[in-house]
Amino acid sequence: MSEAETVTIESVEEFLVHAMELEEASYEHYEELADTMEVHNNLEVAELFRKLANYSRLHAEEVHQRAANLALPTITPWDFKWKCPSAPEAFCMDDADYLMSSTKAMEIALFNEIRGRDFYQQVADNSSSEAVKKLALEMVEEENWHVEMLREWQASMQEEQPQEDLDPPNMPE
Amino acid sequence: MTVPALKAKDYKSGIKAVWCPGCGHFAVLSALTKAMAHLGLVKEEVAVVSGIGCSSRLPAYIDTYGFHGIHGRALAAASGLKAARPDLTVIVAGGDGDGFSIGGNHFLHACRRNMNMAYIVMDNEVYGMTKGQASPTTLPDWSNSKMTPHGTGIPSFNPAAIALAAGAGFIARGFSGEPSELTRILVEAIEHSGFAFVQVLSGCVTYRPDQKLWKEEVHPSESDLPTDDPVKAAQIIQAGDGKATGVIYAKQFPVWQPENRMDSNLNTIEKEFLL
Ligand SMILES: Cc1ncc(C[n+]2csc(CCOP(=O)(O)OP(=O)(O)O)c2C)c(N)n1
Ligand code: SF4
């Protein structure tokens, strides 16, 4: 979907399928980041991503509960209505680095959470269905809470110096 | 009893990937498992075959049959498998080094042989696994390797053009930074009857950090594609900047599948090997 198009979701069912995909992708993305940090022995950052994954899992479960008993449509993986190339909270992996600090990891997390919130906000702004607007705004509120929480967490962190790479890529300077 | 539909994550093996955080190959794994879920593939009817390289680790991370073969021989192993088991969905994966350097000859003949399989090349224009040497798709002036400090000076290989000239019936280009579109391309490649070649621009964050710029450079193809006209496809491929994504060419050719000798058993095969 191009940047110029507006996100319009007009049914609660369609909205919930988007929310489910967004939250599950977020969970899987954080899990993947946690796993890869573990593989590279950056255990502190791995633990941070594991915690974030857990929040996303709980969020996904909540959406599942809301969707119980509804007949949900099937959306093909490339027909989701977000403007970014993948689910909003599972984006921008190439900023990751195996030596990254917790503060850097938190930057990635904040970037993701803000994208998620913006997606829900766009749905609320553009839907003509009151029920969809209401649900989307509830999600915005939850995501806002997430963003605030991450900001506080980030503020409580010590600014860390990037670690020295003892096995750098074999490239000429 | 109805079996619940599998989700993309059900196709992952649970083995933790050893790729560098940020490697484009993660997105290819994710897009491929999404494509498998979308197509509802039965796990035990799929085999993912690869060679050697970071990209070639893919079969280990997928919960279907898999074969992590030897360098450059992914297509040879996959062709043998498809000849013996035409019922399997065969997906072949690897890197630009594996597929175009050491495996270049197999690539040419797999294109013209046109067996029913999809071939995904995760192209990062470098040998990632062996610490960053130039590959056939590396531009001639890339000088960031100690092996080629002044660049290779050799024009790079255009995979889509070679595939077309060698007779492939399905040619596409995807990008790891556009995983949803990549999923659609992979679905079409797997559904194509015959040899389907997908070049995926999949950046190596470690040895080619410059590829982070691909996010700005890669763009959807502007031409009205796919075409089934090889001349038009050749013009588009040659005139392009190598960064346009989408299915470029799709044409149906007779699929080559040797007659399956169901009368063979291990004893008769062993006898044939005795001199
Ligand atoms: C016969 C043989 N020759 C050379 C090698 C060394 N080797 C391992 S992987 C590789 C190249 C990998 O590059 P590519 O296929 O582009 O994959 P990437 O790691 O970039 O994903 C080479 C040359 C080998 N394993 N076997
Ligand atoms: S070396 Fe490059 S290709 Fe290999 S895992 Fe790391 S980023 Fe990926």
Q: What is the largest CA-CA distance in chain A?
A: 60
Q: State which ligand 1 atom lies nearest to the alpha carbon of B202.
A: 21
Q: Which chain B residues touch A169 with a CB distance below 8 Å?
A: 131-132, 206-207
Chain B residues touching A97 at Cβ < 8 A: 21-22, 205
Q: Give the CATH number for residue A96.
A: 1.20.1260.10
Ligand 2 geometric centre to CA of A163 (Å): 20
Task: Record the tokens describing residue B44, joined without a space.
Answer: 């035990």
Domain interval for residue A57? 12-155
Number of domains making up chain A: 1
Q: Is residue A137 part of a domain?
A: yes
In CATH terms, the fold of domain B21-271 is: Rossmann fold (3.40.50)
What's the first-to-final CA gap in chain A, in angstroms? 40
pLDDT, position A44? 93
Residue A164 included in any domain? no
Residue A4 domain-assigned (yes or no)? no
pLDDT at A165: 83
pLDDT at A92: 63
Chain B: give the shortest CA distance to residue A55, in Å. Answer: 18
CA of A41 to the centre of ligand 2 (A): 17
Q: What is the pLDDT, as a whole number, of residue A173? A: 60
Is the torsion defined by CA of A109, A115, A121, A124 positive or negative?
negative
Report the complex ipTM: 0.92
In a domain? residue A135: yes
Domain assignment of residue A161, yes or no: no
Residues of chain B with pLDDT under 50: none
Question: How many helices (H) and strands (E) are present in chain A, helices listed first?
Answer: 4, 0
Q: What digits encode the pLDDT tens for the residues B140-185?
A: 999 999 889 999 999 999 999 999 999 999 999 999 999 999 999 9
Category of B247 on φ-ψ map: left (φ > 0), alpha (ψ -120 to 50) or beta: beta
> Peptide bond preceding B226: is omega within 30 degrees of 0, i.e. cis?
yes
In degrees to the nearest 10, what's the CA dihedral of B73, B35, B204, B201? 90
* Residue A172 pLDDT: 67
Q: For residue A173, is it within any domain? A: no
pLDDT (0 to 100) of residue B134: 97
Tokens matching residue B27 = 């997105």
**Chain A residues with at least one Cβ partner in B under 8 Å:** 28, 32-33, 35-40, 76-78, 80, 85-86, 93-98, 100, 169-172
What confidence score (pLDDT) does residue A1 get?
Answer: 40
Q: In chain B, pLDDT over 90 holds for what percent of residues? A: 89
Cβ atoms B26, B200 nearer than 8 A: no
pLDDT tens digits, chain A, 173 residues: what are they? 444 467 799 999 999 999 999 999 999 999 999 999 999 999 999 999 999 999 999 999 999 999 999 999 999 999 999 988 889 988 666 778 899 999 989 999 999 999 999 999 999 999 999 999 999 999 999 999 999 999 999 888 877 777 788 877 767 66
Per-residue pLDDT reduced to its tens digit, B256-273 = 998 876 667 888 878 878
pLDDT of residue B271: 82
Note whether residue A43 is domain-resident: yes
- Both tokens of residue B227? 């075409």
